[in-house]
Structure 1
Amino acid sequence: MQRDPMSLSVPTREEPPMTGSSWQRFVGVTAAATAVTAALMSPAVAAAPDATPAVATASTTTTNATAADVDYDTWQKDCQAVMDQAFPYLKQRIAGAGAGEKQAIVFDIDNTTLETDFGFSYPSPANAPVLEVAKYAQEHGVALFFVTARPGIIYSATDYNLKHVGYKVSGLYVRSLGDLFRDVAEYKTAKRAEIEAKGYTIIANIGNSATDLSGGHAEKTYKLPDYDGQLS
């Protein structure tokens, strides 16, 4: 789904908001970058052979529907069902962290950590079931990393949005110019490998697309509904 750039609302910031021509330029750049992202998004791919086999998903009855058939409340219920599976594991895994272990969770952004296809505004609201899990993790010393197919041109807007709604961002990975034509699953797998190379153990990887989760480099994966690819 594409955002209508005319529906973007000026954010309420702790710092002075952009006004006049600077805000108009920001809206134009954000809308253009969002269009580029949608055009360049690769189709979902099957999980690679080394991908983590334990994947929690919403019920197949629901996820086989199209986005046009699913309202916001249904989507939230489906997201909550997946997070209800993730939460007990994460609480246990966080409590059992080894001495000196640096734990991390990797998240997708669009329709995972932020609501981007069920309401069009900036800043986008947090996806409440995911934010609840994220807040528990960050309050218990787990680093939160965000790996998105969004282009680097909207890095600052994305970083602000995540922090504005309550996520503590330990790292945000967006696609550079060289990544724009790279397979999305390959790009996201490489970024998780980079996080591991920094000494982190990725205890969970949470997204709503196969491209968010394939390729391994996470102990557990949790898939939110995308309704046959209808959600970005």
Structure 2
Amino acid sequence: MAGKTLNGRSRTLATLAVGVVVGGAVAGGGFAVADSSVPKTDRQITNMTDEVSKIKAYYGDTVDAKGEHWASPDSNYAIQVRGIENKAQKYLESKAKHERGVKKAIVLDVDDTSLSTYNYELETTFVYNPASNAQYIATKTMPAVFGMNTLATWAEQHGYTVFYVTGRPETQRAATAANLAAVGFPKADEAHLFLKNTVTPPSYLPCGKTCTVIQYKSGTRAHIESLGYRIVANFGDQYSDLSGGYAEKTYKIPNPMYYLP
């Protein structure tokens, strides 16, 4: 099954299997990459119907009266996310107590780190399309990834500035900021929310219009640190959200639904 690259977002159903392997990893482990080896037999290929069933079970799939799919708060996914958040909060708390007078910050990715795209993924059978995605973002409110809004609010209340760095295009700024606010995240104004601008990229990104995900995100974190902040923790659901430095510690949020290099 051929993959497609749309707005820098490379997805195929085959990457679901990769996500199952690497999606649950937390900060401190080595960064995994997709295995591009060619299978010799069909037995080496994950059955996609079975894999989707596993993903739905992991998220505790529930369907409302409108036929929309939601993750369950008592799912294994939610339990795993809460475990990561608890570790992160303990680390942030220790830094808050012992490093007073420092402009401390945390950085959050948006999709599947702050806001859950689970329902969109089920609607599109895990096939990303920029038009359907833009329509979804413009018309629906994605729920918060379990507990991330609470963690972000706690961090702000304990002296951290919360920044959001997302690969969403600049044209989705208003909808993204409104969604984050609607589900309880700290302010996502222009000074704190960074989106990818491929029309007039910021001067602090030397890669300009051709930035890879890693170049864009690490370069934006470098810019935040140039403003005098120390990024104590960086949260993302993709390893490309976390690579490139400019954060003391990284936290990988599980996401078995897709892989973004």
Once structures 1 and 2 are overlaid, which stretch shifts more, 81-90 or 150-159?
Answer: 81-90
- What's the counterpart of residue 154 of structure 1? 172
Shift in Å at residue 227 of structure 1? Answer: 1.9
- How far apart are the structure 1 equivalents of 2:229 and 2:97? 16
Task: Choose the corresponding residue for 1:171, options 192, 214, 227.
Answer: 192
- How far apart are the structure 1 equivalents of 2:51 and 2:170? 30
Gaps of 5+ in 1: 1-35, 45-53, 58-64
- How far apart are the structure 2 equivalents of 1:123 and 1:87? 26
Asked whether the 8 Å contact 1:42–1:183 carries over to 2, the reply is no
RMSD: 3.0
Once structures 1 and 2 are overlaid, which stretch shifts more, 221-230 or 152-161?
Answer: 221-230
- What's the counterpart of residue 54 of structure 2? 69
- How far apart are the structure 1 equivalents of 2:245 and 2:260? 23
- What's the counterpart of residue 129 of structure 2? none
* Offset from partner CA, 1:41-70 (integer Å, 9 cap, x none): 2589xxxxxxxxx8157xxxxxxx956512
**In the alignment, residue 115 of structure 2 is paired with which amino acid?**
L
Q: Rg: which structure is higher?
A: 2
- How far apart are the structure 2 equivalents of 1:145 and 1:102? 13
Cα gap change, 1:140/1:91 in structure 2, threshold over 3 Å: closer, same or farther?
Answer: same
SS at match of 2:168: strand
- How far apart are the structure 2 equivalents of 1:195 and 1:201? 8
Identity of aligned residues (%): 32
* Offset from partner CA, 1:115-156 (integer Å, 9 cap, x none): 112467722111122122111101122110000000111111
Cα gap change, 1:114/1:228 in structure 2, threshold over 3 Å: closer, same or farther?
Answer: closer
SS at match of 1:217: coil
Cα gap change, 1:98/1:75 in structure 2, threshold over 3 Å: closer, same or farther?
Answer: same
Counting only pairs closer than 5 Å after superposition, residues 4-19 of structure 1 correspond to structure 2 as: none
Cα gap change, 1:84/1:231 in structure 2, threshold over 3 Å: closer, same or farther?
Answer: farther
- What's the counterpart of residue 96 of structure 1? 98
- What's the counterpart of residue 187 of structure 1? 216
Give aligned pairs, total: 181
Gaps of 5+ in 2: 16-25, 30-49, 60-70, 121-135, 200-207
- What's the counterpart of residue 116 of structure 1? 117
Shift in Å at residue 218 of structure 1? Answer: 0.5
Cα gap change, 1:68/1:146 in structure 2, threshold over 3 Å: closer, same or farther?
Answer: farther
Cα gap change, 1:123/1:147 in structure 2, threshold over 3 Å: closer, same or farther?
Answer: same
